[in-house]
Chains A and B, each alone.
Chain A
């Protein structure tokens, strides 16, 4: 029983990070119908920016205020990265064939990884202790305070995004652009600005995921390490499972993936953990080709 609870909590912790990352993939896909391969690099940058900001401001001991400051700083820097990425790499290709855009995205991704190695080095970096590490017991299970804070932060950001997308004028504009750029333009919506905004928001969430990964694991691997890409790939799979282009779907997919990984690794040989994402993807797409919350293509009159 206690191991069940352990897997549940760990699954939620990992899953909420996948979810944060999945949101960026799904929002960009929803609006431009392309997979932003460089998203996992923005996520990586989020972790490294957080580290550098902590070093810069000499944060050597846990402080919630400083941690929040670092979070906001990393979000701002990644937002800027996402903005520039869209403005200078993707926007010039807005009318080009999908394949060109995809190749550009892969190129940008490699560029960021190599530039990242140059700037941040090739070693594992010890992440500064931004938050105090406590452990306490719940139902016979050890729970780390930083994991709780990570989950709470991730959920708060997701609720914020959900509110933005479904309750504000700007969110309505984002949804309209994701349905049809031309018609959105005819409504008076500045389509290019909304696309920029989508990258900015997705990148900010990736930055948060980067920081939370650093805090949870206490160290971050070098910029070109394959684990960043694997993380991104799984988050993308989570977005597809939930229904690509669908915001609540990305959150659901992320949590589901995190939970299944933990339970599979817990009860079955743990080598299966990384395979579960893809297995889950195949099963769900067989049953629901548009993902869990994806809509069937609604009547196009």
Chain B
């Protein structure tokens, strides 16, 4: 049984049909990437998975349980953490408070404290800025905070929505290195990216989404080598 199984998913925003019969699976331990251009429905897919968007049809099964109809906080408790598009940092709260909020679904105080220290080792900048308003961090630092905060929930599955968006190339490298590290520590990852090049390098498998529909799926390497992907998403050919 796959860790995450999505079957025939449809979602609407009013009259806009954002997702059409989306099928997608993520196996335990994988990095799966979902690539596609602007407005393809990548974020909408993640929003359905974390309970922010109610699907109009289809099934979502995580760890053998249906997620349909569950509120976001209940889904976090089942082990899915979502670092959303635009990072969603609480700018007026401190860096440390943001991390603490990431662990809201947990009650093991000692474990939470230990994990906060661990985050500050993994992301030294968060340690340095612990008491500072998170809104004063740079874009890259906020992204680290968003990832660190999502990890504070100790998720089985981490949903990342365009973690490289708007970041300098060097920072992008760092972020992808961190994604690989987190995965090696046992966290399954579903990565949404417009930066198909980087995403297909770090992922095991990929899906290509176009106007709400899955157009292709394959091993990341195969996708990266395919003509269609190279033309449409890698700017080659």
A residues with a Cβ closer than 8 A to B are 169, 172-173, 175-176, 179-180, 182-192, 295, 298-301
Contact = CB atoms under 8 A, between A and B. Distances in A.
Q: Which of B76, B90, B139, B153 has the most CB of A within 10 A?
A: B90
A180 B50 CA distance: 15
B186 interface: no
Contact of B90 (A176, A188, A191, A192): A176
A-B pairs, top 6 by smallest CB distance, nearest first, are A188-B105, A185-B72, A188-B76, A183-B88, A188-B104, A187-B101
Nearest to B133: A298
Given A173-B104, A187-B104, A179 B73 contact: no
Interface residues of B, number: 33
Contacts of B93: 172, 175-176, 179
Contacts of B101: 172-173, 176, 184, 187, 189
B39 interface: no
A15 to B, nearest CB: 27
B92 A295 contact: yes
Contact of A185 (B52, B89, B100): B52
B82 interface: yes
B135 A186 contact: no
B91 interface: yes
Interface in B62-76: 71-73, 76
28 contacts: A172-B93, A172-B100, A175-B90, A175-B92, A176-B93, A179-B90, A179-B91, A180-B88, A182-B84, A182-B88, A183-B84, A184-B101, A185-B51, A185-B71, A185-B72, A186-B50, A186-B88, A187-B76, A187-B101, A187-B102, A187-B149, A188-B77, A188-B106, A188-B153, A300-B91, A301-B89, A301-B91, A301-B139
Given A172-B101, A298-B133, A299-B135, A186 B76 contact: yes
Contacts of A298: 91-92, 133, 135
B210 interface: no
Contacts of B77: 188
Given A180-B90, A298-B92, A190 B71 contact: yes
Contacts of A188: 72-73, 76-77, 104-106, 153
A63 B102 CA distance: 47
A32 B152 CA distance: 27
A183 B135 contact: no
Q: Which of A172, A180, A185, A299 has the most CB of B within 10 A?
A: A185
